Structure 1
């Protein structure tokens, strides 16, 4: 769906993005991960021509984006900003309806789609007449996501979309993000500096530093087959928790089947440690499965 070939961006004497190439399959979520200034947001903004590349090529669905009008290109791409980017003097409904108005949808079609998204994003219809400053941070972020999704674009770009949220709200939205059918149909590129978020939401991760891609691969590949010492060091402090998050939870069994999650981390979070023999047995079973998983991984 997306192909980036030898892409660079130079600001004066600074090479913000330095000859990077990557591809994103249809329906895949690729995360651009790295510290501030590594080039990830500049890369994202070149994909919808908010920033023009110095050199290189970008193809979306087989079309060279530099051969399209920027306005036309952006109508097929959803864009979610860190601080939601909502217009403060527009109501929630008016904010979500911006792209449908540009596409000249009739009011009935627009209203139907807005109500559909509001329900999927767990927002009350009562919010439609409110203004952004009347909503919580999590609610505002959901409205920003609704605005990006309203025209059902095939590609979604997300720039630190959950960075301004508190940990509890972010965790809840992460859970919704992973199961929302609207997002499963999208090809997504997400920018984040949050390692846990990248490993939780990304199918693949491009770890960037100084404008270059240091390593691209699945979360397991970055953990167990790091390309170099930079990758090892970047993940070192959170390594155990990351391993728990990518290790699949063991086959059903034990006394706590109802509390299991999709991975070892979720299962641990749901396990009730009440001091009983059953909870101890379940914990031991979980740890045994986890260490067996680790032993099966090829170590770089």
Structure 2
């Protein structure tokens, strides 16, 4: 869906983006991760021509983005900003309707689409006639997402979309983000400097430094097969927590005991990551949790010690591959 070839952007004597190339498949969520000044936001803004590149080629759905006027390009790309970018003197309804109005949708079509998105984003219709400053940060961010999604663009660009939110609100919106069916159909490029966020939301991560992509791959690729010392050091402080959030029960299934013992607790899916399973333990004596393999419907009962043993076996196996 998106192809970037030898992209370069220089500001004065600084090469903000230094000849990078990568592709993003249809329906994939690619996260550009890195410290401030690594070139990730500049890269993102070149995709919808908020910044023009010095050289290189950007193609979306097989078409060079410079073969059409910038304003037409942007109408077909959703864009979500860190501070939500809502117009303060427009109501919520007017903010969401900006692109439909540019596309000359009739009022009924626009209203139906707005109502549909509000329901999906768990927002009351009572908010339609209020102004952004009357909303909480989380509500504003959901409205910003609704505005980006309203015309159903195939591509969504997100620049630090959750960076201004507190940790509790951010965690809740992450869960909504992953569950939202609207986003499962989108090709997404997201910029963040938050390592945990990148690992939770990305299909693949492009780790950047000094205008270059150091390594591109799945979260597991970066964790278990770091390309160099920069990648290892970048993830070092949060490595264990990232492993908990990256490794799923499916990954460690063969290392879990085969004893099938009924428990009174709900069955957790084998698609859950180790972190999610840990959150379900109450750590009472002899406690065990039921887990079900979604592929073969096999059920296992595991204790905390058995989970940790399987996790360690899997890691050892990865280290020796």
Q: Aligned with 1:237: secondary structure?
A: helix
Q: Which runs of 5+ in 2 are unaligned?
A: 290-301
Contact 1:91 1:128 in 2 (8 A): yes
Q: Aligned with 1:51: secondary structure?
A: coil
Paired with 2:138 and 2:144, the residues of 1 have a C-alpha distance of: 10
Match of 1:110 in 2: 110
Q: Which runs of 5+ in 1 are unaligned?
A: none
Match of 1:288 in 2: 309
Paired with 1:278 and 1:150, the residues of 2 have a C-alpha distance of: 47
Paired with 2:186 and 2:123, the residues of 1 have a C-alpha distance of: 21
Deviations for 1:139-180, whole angstroms, at most 9, x for unmatched residues? 000000000000000000000000000000000000010011
Paired with 2:159 and 2:244, the residues of 1 have a C-alpha distance of: 26
Paired with 1:299 and 1:42, the residues of 2 have a C-alpha distance of: 38
Paired with 2:128 and 2:317, the residues of 1 have a C-alpha distance of: 51
Deviation, 1:287, is 1.1
For 1:241-280, what aligned pairs fall within 5 Å after superposition? Answer: 241-249=241-249, 255=263, 256-258=265-267, 262-273=272-283, 275-279=284-288
Larger radius of gyration: 2
Paired with 1:207 and 1:257, the residues of 2 have a C-alpha distance of: 38
Match of 2:61 in 1: 61
| Range moving further from structure 2, 249-258 or 289-298 | 249-258
| Range moving further from structure 2, 10-19 or 264-273 | 264-273
Q: RMSD in angstroms over aligned alpha carbons?
A: 1.6
| Range moving further from structure 2, 244-253 or 261-270 | 244-253
| Range moving further from structure 2, 150-159 or 275-284 | 275-284
Paired with 1:184 and 1:289, the residues of 2 have a C-alpha distance of: 31
Deviation, 1:299, is 6.0
Contact 1:30 1:202 in 2 (8 A): yes
Deviations for 1:15-52, whole angstroms, at most 9, x for unmatched residues? 00000000000000000000000000000000000000
Paired with 1:38 and 1:130, the residues of 2 have a C-alpha distance of: 38
Contact 1:207 1:216 in 2 (8 A): yes
Contact 1:79 1:157 in 2 (8 A): yes
Contact 1:259 1:271 in 2 (8 A): no
For 1:16-165, what aligned pairs fall within 5 Å after superposition? Answer: 16-165=16-165
4+ residue runs over 4 A deviation: 250-254
| Range moving further from structure 2, 108-117 or 275-284 | 275-284
For normalisation by structure 2, the TM-score amounts to 0.90
Paired with 2:68 and 2:319, the residues of 1 have a C-alpha distance of: 44
Paired with 2:184 and 2:68, the residues of 1 have a C-alpha distance of: 27
Are 2:314 and 1:297 equivalent residues in the alignment?
Answer: no
Q: How many residues align?
A: 299
Deviation, 1:113, is 0.1
For 1:186-265, what aligned pairs fall within 5 Å after superposition? Answer: 186-249=186-249, 255=263, 256-258=265-267, 262-265=272-275
For normalisation by structure 1, the TM-score amounts to 0.96
Contact 1:7 1:20 in 2 (8 A): yes
